[in-house]
Structure 1
Amino acid sequence: MRFIPTFVKALASASVLSSVALPAAGRALVQHHEPRALLDVCAAIDLNAIVNLLPLGIDLGAIAGLDICLCLSALPLSITADVHLQALVNLLGLADVNALLNLLINTGPGSKHCKYPPGATPICQTNDPCGFQCPFPLKKEGDQCVCAPPYSECNGKCGLFPKGCGSSSVPRSKRDLKMLLSARGGPTTLEEALATCKTGESVCGSNAKPGWECINTQKNLESCGGCAVPNPFESAAPGVDCATIRDVSSVQCTRAPARC
């Protein structure tokens, strides 16, 4: 029976196709590599809203009532990577699920037009659809990424400059920083520990000494979306151990937002 896809396409054609055409956002997303602010449209979505858009008698089962956060720029990749949305794909098909989510993101009550600072990584959360993470060592302050102490800005770069800022000054290398921190007995703050991590990594807790480690929570199966074990410096948003999910043939951790 094909009445579901036909219904979805008819529903979507009235508003989704026209609302997706966001010229400013589209250009910014295509040119995201340029040093300018990013634009996107994001929304916290109650999957029960999809039930209200479908013909009577369509049961979404266990996914009904779940809350998710999605951005237009993440579609359709986030659909194929999300275990819960896969249940919708099996019922309606990828094209129709994509159309429904476009409709809800653009017109739902939680829809937000998001603007991110240059270099920031968007992090869509149900309580903050326009959330973002600043590239290290920049720190989030309000809607901006700033170079905050103990780091300083020199020649357009944010880093540690032990010899002061000159025309040839360069930030201290991670290797030198690790040696310095080791001589002091190790990092004492989250900022110091984070300074030893690679780009895109977070400081998470560890059962082995020194009690923390650098993990990419956008890709790590055992700490997906956040640290499965909080770091010893401050509480961190919990992640998901994708490897423990049952009744699925395979799992992966994907970004925007990070989920199994």
Structure 2
Amino acid sequence: MRFTRAKTAVVLAASTWLSPLIAAKGLNKRDAASLDVCGQVNAQLTIPSTTFPFAGVPLGFINDCLCVSTLPQYVKTNIFAIEAVTIAGTDATIAELTSMINSCNGRTECHFPAHAVPQCKNGNPCFFTCQDGYTASPSTKPTECVCASPYTECNGQCGVYRGCPSTYIAKRELVHDCRDGFTACRIPGGSAKSYECIDTRTELESCGGCLYGTLIKGHSLLGEDCTTIPGVSDVSCIKGQCVVRKCMPGYILGGARAQCMYYDENQVEL
């Protein structure tokens, strides 16, 4: 396996055009990237009367910047929306608020990237912050959520990781039945008998042995995560050994291509 450090970019998924009468439920679940509708609402919240079908009940004036996807939470915190839910129910209240967003003067279709949390602002309805450890970039008018250095991405999370096990791991609780050439390596956070089968001869993050130990008795050799070698830019795991192909600027190859050494060309030896 080979690793090359590169800057990743968030690619927004293509979305279909939203009609003015879009239903709120379709936007509550945020996928890798999503399309939302936001706007500054300045209108009276009115719900249908249960006594007179063709009459409306005015509950209060809404003066908030709202996104359709955030309405399920909004109806739990706004006093007028809470009263509307008590009278007409959650679905009817969200439907009315959705209509108010779609009919407001500042209605805007917003494309939110993965890990974004909509933070509708008056004058900037598509503003957002990021979750899961990601950072909004650029800071003033962000367009993406990035995993900024020195953090790395692991299974949809941004943080500091010594290794990143696959999200699709076959966990076996009774016996380890890895095929020849593979080792039963322990899974961090799993049960005492959970493991995944790894070829430690080529696995970049468990090179030469299991990063978190093995279930096989008598095998105590721990592996190395080649991607964590300081200054490395391009590295492979070959026959259980980390082999550095290229170092980052300011570093030079050293130690039989097993490491990158910091190099200061201005340093004068005494």
Range of TM-score over shorter length: 0.3 to 0.5
Greater fraction of residues in strand: 2
> Who wins on radius of gyration, i.e. which is larger?
2
Greater fraction of residues in helix: 1
| TM-score (ref. length: structure 2) | 0.39
| TM-score (ref. length: structure 1) | 0.40
